[in-house]
Amino acid sequence: MMLRVLFLLCSAFSLSAVAAPLPVPDQGPALRIQGSNTIGAALGPALIKGLMEQQGLQGVHSEPAEGANEQRVVGKTRQGKVVTIEVAAHGSSTGFVALKKSSADLAASSRPIKDSELVELEPLGDLKSPEAEQVIAIDGLAIILNPRNPLDTLNTEQLAQIFNGEISTWEALGGVGGTINLYARDDQSGTYDTFKELVLSRRGKPLAASAKRFESSEQLSDAVSRDPHGIGFIGLPYVRQAKAVAIVDGDSQPMLPLNSLIATEDYPLSRRLFFYLPPSTRNPWAKALVDFTQSSKGQAIVAANGFIAQQVQAIGVEPRASMPEDYQAIARDAQRLTVNFRFEEGSASLDNKARQDLQRVVAYIKSHDKLDKQVTLVGFGDAKSDPQRAALLSKLRAMAVRRELVKSGVVLRDIRGFGAQMPVAANTADEGRIKNRRVEVWVY
């Protein structure tokens, strides 16, 4: 119960410091993290440095470890005792393997845990519980080209055909340049897992054997930016000198990997980044790092490293003719919060990120004095054979969010359901349907 209370307080950004000094082990690392290269290359070490400095450690720095894509973050106590945290970034799947082997205390992953991994790790507790599955940031997979490539929009069907090798020339896409050269992350990468799930597997297509594979995000991006015939996929902070294109999924509008579209997870290739904290862990540094990451200081570090922080902001939305008239009216009078509530697969229950976001949204509403009829919830769903049923279900999802907000004293202005209108993803796969089943928050 105490862990749950602590977690909720952290989500509401009410913890400004770790409650007590953390113990320093007599030997060995204080914490071992394995998994995603997207997290482990820079974001993870930056969060560790933030926690160490909050703990009062001095001379905090990173240094290379024994293997490639491995590093140690080191600091000293005022008494001169060395504290070391080890980070190995060989891909998301390696983090779950390390948890099973007890060679890591915390797994970093740029994809959700798989059912098979969940079963294998059952002895460590339920890794899908709200305390264990921690969304630490939102990332967008950018599709990158050489800066001189004139193409600016691709759809997910084209992406599948390109990376499968069915479309092999730029001329087939209306461009120029001859043969397409493919660049992809390696099989251990959560970035590759996400691309495979969102683009390739949805259409039953494997990655072409001709693709050049990379363990390093930076090296992949730089290779594409040097190759006039190249195309690759990469985490948002690693676009570097390459050119990102707008993506269309199903009937969605073309979307660039913009911060606002990734924050709400509307961008077709947006994804969540995770820490997985086994409930059985007794390592206080692991718990402290999770808590620090969810705090306002931790989320500021997330933003500073090029990812999308889970900090709630209000943004104006320009009404467009393609929007329903009633939705345009809301957009003219209100601002949209950079949060979308989503639900467990096949359920009306809020998912773990939504439970975290409830605390953040309530904190925003209270701090901006919008408790009394200043908030409208707008629900959406996936396509149904009966449009009236789709509209009803979308409103019921908004009402599920309302029930939670009411517990915190929020009096809603309105609840609207727009059914299957304005899809942000194709409804041909579970992943797309889950993204379309969403609730937006608008404030006046």
Q: Is 64 within a domain?
A: yes
Amino acid at 194: T
**346 and 298 fall within a common domain:** no
DSSP assignment string, 136-196? EEEEEEEEEE-TT----EEEHHHHHHHHHTSS-BGGGGT--SSBPEEEEE-TT-HHHHHHI
Domain interval for residue 343: 312-443
**103 and 216 fall within a common domain:** no
**pLDDT on residue 251:** 85
Q: Which CATH number is 384's domain given? A: 3.30.1330.60
Q: Is 19 within a domain?
A: yes
- Packing angle between helix 352-367 and helix 387-406, nearest 10 degrees? 60
| Integer Cα distance of 314 and 338 in angstroms | 6
- Packing angle between helix 284-294 and helix 2-11, nearest 10 degrees? 30
In the block, residue with structure tokens 């969060």: 47
Radius of gyration of the chain (CA): 22
Q: How far is CA 234 from the centre of its chain?
A: 13
| Integer Cα distance of 405 and 421 in angstroms | 25
**pLDDT on residue 336:** 97
**pLDDT on residue 429:** 66
**pLDDT on residue 346:** 65
CB 349 within 8 A of CB 395: no
**pLDDT on residue 18:** 43
**pLDDT on residue 202:** 83
pLDDT 10s per residue in the chain (444 long)? 333 333 334 444 444 444 579 999 999 999 999 999 999 999 999 999 999 999 999 999 999 999 999 999 999 999 999 999 999 999 999 999 999 999 999 999 999 999 999 999 999 999 999 999 999 999 989 999 999 999 999 999 999 999 999 999 999 998 888 999 999 999 989 899 889 988 998 899 999 999 999 999 999 999 999 999 999 999 988 999 999 999 999 888 899 998 889 999 999 999 899 999 999 999 999 999 999 999 999 999 999 998 999 999 999 999 999 999 999 999 999 999 999 999 887 677 899 999 999 999 999 999 999 999 999 999 998 876 677 888 888 999 999 999 999 999 999 999 999 998 998 888 776 777 888 899 999 999
Q: Is 270 within a domain?
A: no
**117 and 144 fall within a common domain:** no
Residue where a domain terminates, one of 261, 292, 324: 261
Amino acid at 314: A
Tokens standing for residue 233? 């996929």
**21 and 123 fall within a common domain:** yes
**338 and 292 fall within a common domain:** no
**128 and 214 fall within a common domain:** no
Burial class of residue 40 in the structure, from the number of CB atoms within 10 Å of its CB (0-12 exposed, 13-18 middle, 19+ buried): buried
| Integer Cα distance of 302 and 138 in angstroms | 9
Q: Is 248 within a domain?
A: yes
Q: Helix, strand, or coil here: 80? A: coil
Q: Is 266 within a domain?
A: no
**182 and 235 fall within a common domain:** yes
Global pTM reads: 0.82
Q: Which helix (H) or strand (E) holds 358?
A: helix 352-367
Q: Count CA within 13 A, CB hemisphere, residue 262.
A: 26
**114 and 205 fall within a common domain:** no
Q: Is 361 within a domain?
A: yes
**188 and 285 fall within a common domain:** no
Q: Is 271 within a domain?
A: no
CA angle 383, 386, 388 (to 5 degrees): 100
**409 and 290 fall within a common domain:** no
Domain count, the chain: 3
Q: Which CATH number is 99's domain given? A: 3.40.190.10
Q: Is 196 within a domain?
A: yes
**150 and 241 fall within a common domain:** yes
**75 and 102 fall within a common domain:** yes
